[in-house]
A and B are shown apart, each in its own frame.
Chain A
Amino acid sequence: MPTPEPTPGRLNPWRYIGGGLVIVTGAIVLIPFFALSNYSFPAADDFCYAQNFIAENSFLALWRHSLNWSGRYFSYLLQGSYPNWFGLFESYRFIAPVLLVLTYAAALALVSQLLGSRSSWFLKGVLALAFLLAYLLGMPEPASGFYWMAGAFTYQVGNIILLVVLAMCVKSLSGESDTGRYSFAFFGLAIVAGAGTNETTMLVIFGIMHIATLLAWILRKRLTPWAWLLSLTYICFLIVYFSPGNESRVAAFPNAHDISYALARCLYFGSVLMIQWLEQPLFWVYLALLFIASVFALPAHSLRIPLWLILVMLAGTLALPFVALFPAWWSMGGPAPERTINVIYFLFLLSASCAVILSAMKVGSYPAFGKDGMGGRVSFVVLCICFSFLCLTNPTYTRARADWNEFADGYRETWELRLEMLGAQNPEQDFALPALPRNLPETIHFVDIKPDPKDWRNECFANFVGARSVRTVIE
Chain B
Amino acid sequence: MSAKVVNAIIFIVTLAAVIITLFLRPAERINLQVFWQTSDLDMTEKATVFRSVTLDDTEQTLEVNLQGRGVLRLRIDLAHSGEEFTEIRISNARIEGMQEGKPASVEIPPIWYCFNCSLVIEGNTLRIRSDLEDPYILSERIPYMNVDTLRFEVSGVR
Contact = CB atoms under 8 A, between A and B. Distances in A.
B10 A395 contact: no
A366 B112 contact: no
A368 B4 CA distance: 9
Interface stretch (B43-51, B60-68, B123-131): B43-51
B26 A292 contact: no
Interface in A279-301: 279-282, 284-285, 288-289, 291-292, 295
B17 A254 contact: no
B25 A281 contact: yes
Interface in A48-105: none
A23 interface: no
Chain A binding site: helix, strand, loop or mixed by DSSP?
helix
Interface in B5-44: 6-7, 9-11, 13-14, 16-18, 20-21, 24-29, 31, 33
A335 B7 CA distance: 45
Contact of A382 (B1, B2, B9, B18): B18
A295 B11 CA distance: 13
B3 A395 contact: no
A440 B47 CA distance: 9
**Size category of the binding interface on chain B:** 35 or more
B17 A279 contact: no
Interface in A97-123: none
B113 A379 contact: no
Contact of B26 (A280, A375, A378): A280
Given A255-B140, A399-B49, A375 B13 contact: no
A279 B7 contact: no
A386 interface: yes
A472 interface: no
A378 B11 CA distance: 10
Contacts of A281: 20-21, 24-26
A3 B27 CA distance: 45
A284 B20 contact: yes
Given A281-B20, A334-B109, A379 B11 contact: yes
Contact of A366 (B6, B45, B136): B6
Contacts of A379: 10-11, 13-14
B50 A375 contact: no
Nearest to A389: B21
Nearest to B27: A279
A282 B21 CA distance: 8
A208 interface: no
A369 interface: yes
B17 A284 contact: yes
A395 B136 CA distance: 33
A32 to B, nearest CB: 15
A366 to B, nearest CB: 6
A42 B16 CA distance: 43
A292 B10 contact: yes
A410 interface: no
Contacts of A220: none
Nearest to A137: B26
Nearest to B46: A438
Given A281-B20, A292-B13, A335-B110, A254 B6 contact: no
A288 B7 contact: no
A288 B140 contact: no
B7 to A, nearest CB: 6
A66 B30 CA distance: 39
A206 B50 CA distance: 40
B115 A373 contact: no
Given A280-B27, A382-B14, A265 B136 contact: yes
Nearest to A368: B3
A335 B112 contact: yes
Contacts of B137: 334
A342 to B, nearest CB: 15
Name the residue among B1, B11, B17, B24 with the largest chain A CB count within 10 angstroms.
B17
A394 B18 CA distance: 16
Nearest to A403: B49
Contact of A291 (B13, B45, B50): B13
Contacts of B50: 395, 398-399, 402
A248 interface: no
B21 A363 contact: no
A379 B112 CA distance: 39
Interface of B: 1-3, 6-7, 9-11, 13-14, 16-18, 20-21, 24-29, 31, 33, 45, 47, 49-50, 109-110, 112-113, 115, 136-137, 140-141
18 contacts: A269-B112, A284-B24, A285-B17, A285-B21, A289-B17, A292-B14, A334-B109, A334-B137, A363-B6, A366-B1, A368-B2, A369-B3, A369-B6, A375-B11, A376-B7, A386-B18, A395-B29, A442-B49
Given A285-B20, A386-B21, 10 more contacts: A261-B136, A272-B115, A292-B13, A334-B137, A363-B9, A366-B3, A369-B3, A369-B7, A395-B50, A439-B47
Q: Please list the 3 inter-chain residue pairs (A to B) with the smallest Cβ-Cβ separation, ordered nearest first.
A: A288-B17, A386-B21, A379-B14
